[in-house]
């Protein structure tokens, strides 16, 4: 229909101005740009191909874990960028810094008191970290309070062991005022015990680690925590575990009794939410690395989500409840991730497309109806004028007649699908009614 039709004298609306049309176009472009920007934000994390990990000291337990994760992730096309640290405390400080480059890291339970503002998430608890206290002397030590007045190594600054050791000694009444408390790394502490420079030392690590093997096969004595239950109540981040007799050496029967130990828990933690695909990949790696049976836990105990140190990742909750999503169970990681990325874009557009397809018939029908409605409005306006004129002039009647014929001529030229022809003939009937009314008025005027 043309922008201006002479036959529409009463009901034709003013055409849209160029300024308004330009404003509508700019608004539509802005909406589409905002939608595209939102999609880009949603998809961007999926393209991450490098994960930066803060691990731990070189040759330490955390570095050992990280070195085993790396080849598993590499098979899926993900590079694990491992960076050493002084230990759990530094890992925590790195991850809670929003400006740092670190994505994940290992944090020992009890390292700190987490804050809501840290924005850290636990991917999984991955392993017990036994705490060992080795000492010299003939007297059997099974309570830390027996070490009062001794020279004691507690670990190094920045390590989770130092924090735990200080807490345990504090509950046992041992302070820097009544004992000599030293900060030494594991090799130095071992040498100090062997040489007699110190009396006792805290260590942390798995029984199969080189340092623990050396300690367990030495002449040094291993403390069994007689007060383990009470200490676990005082420090909930610790667990009570048992090292079975002869675990170190069956031939030498070392140790010669079951030993009660305390253990922290190693947590795999992320700085804020990671993309779900990466979380699932890390959980699979954790299950391979930590899922085997060991001295303290049966097969499959780790990894798990049995910790309240930091909020648990939603993907981790889903993983341990029902396993990986279907895509990641059935397809290679790169393909599943690719499909998921595409779905993030396609699903919203598909929903929009379905909505448009459902609305299209109604929009088409409304458009067809609109072609007729403008003529109905014109006819109604003309009819109202005819009815409201009690004594029309001949020229006015002639104008009405010309208008109704113009309307009829234009209605005959309306292009409309066949299924709407009944509406066209209804319009023709309305035109006929008004034409008859004008003819009646014209006849009455002649009389």
Identify which of 168, 156, 153, 27 has the alpha carbon closest to the alpha carbon of residue 87: 156
Q: Give the containing element (helix H, strand E) for 8.
A: none
- Token representation of residue 33: 């740009």
H/E element, 372: helix 333-388
Residue 304 Cα distances to 8, 59, 108, 275, 337, angstroms: 76, 25, 15, 19, 24
Tokens of 281: 């990949």
Whole-number pLDDT of residue 368: 73
pLDDT digits 0-9 by tens, 202-257: 999 888 888 999 999 999 999 999 999 999 999 999 999 999 999 888 998 988 99
Q: CA 324 to CA 330: how far, in whole Å? A: 9
Q: Say which residue, 258 or 387, is predicted with more confidence.
A: 258
Domains of the chain: residue spans and CATH: 18-36+344-446 (1.20.58), 48-324 (3.40.190.10)
What integer pLDDT is reported at residue 218 of this predicted model? 92
| Contacts (Cβ under 8 Å, ≥6 apart) of 75 | none
Least reliable range by pLDDT among 112-116, 141-145, 346-350: 346-350
Confidence of residue 349 (pLDDT cuts 50, 70, 90): low
Q: Whole-number mean pLDDT of the chain?
A: 85
d(CA 144, CA 172): 6
Query: In angstroms, rounded to a whole number, what is the distance separating the alpha carbons of residues 215 and 205?
Result: 11
Distance CA 242, CA 258 (A): 7
Task: Give Cβ neighbours of residue 109 (< 8 Å, ≥ 6 apart).
Answer: 125, 237, 238, 264, 265, 266, 267, 307, 309
The total number of residues shown for the chain amounts to 447
Q: Give me the mean pLDDT over the 271-278 stretch.
A: 86
Span 270-285, average pLDDT: 89
| pLDDT value for 79 | 94
Please give the Cα distance from 106 to 314 (Å, whole number). 19
Q: Are the beta carbons of 137 and 144 closer than 8 angstroms? A: no
pTM of the predicted protein model: 0.65
Lookup result for tokens 């991917």: 123
Of 174, 184, 245, give the one whose Cα is nearest residue 211.
184
Question: 182 pairs with which residues across the strands?
Answer: 153
Residue 67 DSSP one-character state? H
Q: What is the dihedral of CA 322, 326, 332, 337, to 10 degrees?
A: -100
At residue 168's C-alpha, the angle toward residues 198 and 259, to 5°, is: 75
The torsion angle over the Cα atoms of residues 110, 114, 118 and 124, rounded to 10 degrees, is: 50
Q: How many CB atoms lie within 10 A of CB 114?
A: 17
Write b or e for each residue in 399-423: b if 16 or more Cβ atoms lie within 10 A of its Cβ, otherwise e. bbeebbebbbebbeebeeeeeeeeb
C-alpha–C-alpha distance, residues 82 and 79, integer Å: 9
Give per-residue pLDDT as tens, 351-401: 777 877 787 777 777 777 777 788 888 888 888 888 888 788 888 888 888
Residue partners of 161: CB distance under 8 A and separation at least 6: 87, 108, 131, 154, 155, 202, 203, 204
Nearest to 7 by CA among 417, 298, 412: 412
Q: Residue 205 has which token pair?
A: 């690590």
Distance CA 226, CA 237 (A): 18
What is the model's pLDDT at position 391?
81
Q: Which residue has the tokens 């589409």?
A: 32
């Amino acid at each position: 229909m043309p922008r201006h039709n002479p036959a529409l004298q009463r009901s034709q609306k003013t055409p849209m101005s160029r300024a308004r049309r330009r404003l509508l176009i700019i608004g539509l472009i802005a909406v589409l740009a905002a939608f595209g920007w939102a999609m880009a934000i949603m998809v961007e994390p999926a393209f991450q191909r490098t994960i930066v990990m803060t691990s731990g000291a070189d040759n330490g337990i955390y570095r050992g874990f990280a070195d085993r994760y790396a080849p598993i992730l590499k098979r899926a096309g993900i590079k694990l960028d491992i960076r050493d640290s002084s230990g759990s405390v530094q890992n925590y400080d790195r991850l809670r810094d929003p400006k740092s480059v670190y994505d994940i890291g290992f944090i020992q339970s009890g390292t700190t008191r987490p804050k809501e503002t840290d924005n850290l998430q636990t991917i999984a608890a991955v392993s017990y970290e036994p705490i060992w206290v080795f000492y010299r002397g003939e007297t059997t030590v099974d309570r830390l309070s027996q070490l009062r007045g001794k020279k004691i190594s507690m670990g190094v600054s920045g390590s989770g062991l130092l924090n735990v050791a200080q807490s345990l000694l504090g509950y046992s009444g041992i302070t820097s005022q009544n004992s000599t408390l030293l900060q030494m790394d594991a090799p130095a502490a071992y040498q100090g015990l062997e040489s007699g420079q110190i009396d006792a030392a805290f260590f942390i690590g798995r029984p199969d680690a080189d340092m623990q093997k050396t300690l367990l096969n030495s002449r040094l004595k291993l403390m069994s925590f007689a007060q383990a239950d009470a200490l676990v109540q005082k420090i909930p981040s610790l667990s009570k575990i048992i090292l079975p007799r002869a675990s170190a050496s069956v031939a030498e029967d070392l140790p010669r009794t079951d030993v009660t130990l305390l253990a922290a828990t190693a947590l795999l933690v992320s700085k804020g939410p990671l993309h779900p695909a990466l979380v699932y990949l890390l959980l699979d790696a954790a299950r391979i690395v930590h899922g085997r049976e060991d001295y303290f836990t049966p097969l499959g105990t780790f990894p798990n989500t049995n910790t309240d140190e930091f909020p648990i990742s939603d993907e981790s909750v889903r993983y341990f409840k029902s396993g990986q999503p279907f895509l990641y169970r059935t397809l290679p990681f790169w393909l599943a991730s690719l499909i998921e990325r595409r779905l993030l874009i396609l699903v919203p557009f598909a929903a929009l497309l379905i909505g448009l397809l459902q609305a299209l018939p109604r929009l088409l029908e409304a458009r067809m109806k609109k072609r007729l409605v403008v003529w109905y409005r014109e006819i109604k306006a003309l009819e109202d004028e005819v009815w409201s004129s009690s004594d029309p002039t001949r020229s006015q009647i002639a104008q009405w007649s010309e208008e109704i014929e113009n309307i009829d001529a234009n209605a005959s030229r309306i292009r409309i699908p066949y299924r709407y022809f009944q509406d066209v003939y209804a319009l023709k009937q309305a035109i006929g009614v008004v034409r008859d009314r004008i003819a009646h008025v014209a006849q009455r005027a002649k009389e």
